[in-house]
Structure 1
Amino acid sequence: LGVRQLIVGVNKMDSSEPPYSEARYEEIKKEVSSYIKKIGYNPATVAFVPISGWHGDNMLEPSTNMPWFKGWKVERKEGNAEGKTLIDALDAILPPSRPTEKPLRLPLQDVYKIGGIGTVPVGRVETGILKPGMVVTFAPANITTEVKSVEMHHE
């Protein structure tokens, strides 16, 4: 699937025995770390965050219910990151680079014929760049046309 970055939210920490148990968090972290290592990820690049979605612990603000949790750290060649909450981990995700140097690939989702405007193909640019004025060919029909305009959803 091309997933390069992971965050593990250890949820329901309020339901552990005893509630907010550091031992239970460490047990889950160890088990999940060994699994993600088996499938090819480096656990040092994964943020593990103990949370309680029901109570909001460590979601947006550091929780007072888990004083033992000092925060998460991830190591990566683009620069290390650290934080205390799930939102911090989400904010630390690096956006993937778009393959703009590759040839244009735009799988069509639909085609609309709009009076006064013309034929409007709808899809998502997966690779390459699409600009007004470009001449493009649609396969397999081998129809060549000029791009008059490009719009993003509701923009």
Structure 2
Amino acid sequence: MSSKGKPHLNLVIIGHVDHGKSTMTGHLLYVCGSISERDIQKFEKEAELIGRGSFKFAWALDKLKEERERGVTIDLAFYKFQTKKYYFTIIDAPGHRDFVKNMITGTSQADAAILVISAGTGEFEAGISATGQTREHALLAKTLGVDQLIVAVNKMDLAKYKKERFDEVKDEMTRNLKLFGFDMKKVIFVPASGMKGDNLNEKPESMPWYTG
């Protein structure tokens, strides 16, 4: 698939720490053909050596040894993939509060953002709490001029793919995003599972209620 002549877009991946940004991004790159099956198998074996086998997709992005051991993204990672219509550069930004400067740097280069939010019990609530990064990242994205936003409601597998949980997250985030000045016509909510691959590039059987 040639990238020649396709519009190029920079996408930044933002969100609270441990909400699955790197896993979702790594899995997306894998299903789009930017990461090989052989590489994923290699990352899985390496991750299993330190008891983090489930981190195989995240390890495609979290290359620094410290990141792998801590399980968080510290630096910016840039990866490319393409669809039939567009050529993308993905900017994987840190979610941890200690590395917010790196997140700002990445977001300032973006045409659009994917805000990854965990639907896991307690995880969504932690992200939107006063000490969480979900709302801060969304507000920073808006402040830095990002108007196009995809809200990826991740870890739907942990929520047993329930529409009620997706709607709960969507309603709460819609309220916050409106307060930050987002035009909700430019915001899309997508239920997904970065770990399982649900709804990354094909409509999943696990969520027949989603018609987006």
Fold shared per TM-score above 0.5 = no
Return the structure number with greater strand share.
1
Larger-gyration structure (1/2): 1
Higher share of residues assigned helix: 2
If asked which structure has higher relative contact order (CA below 8 Å, sep 6+), I would say 2
Q: What TM-score do you get using the length of structure 2 for normalisation?
A: 0.32
TM-score normalised to structure 1 length: 0.44
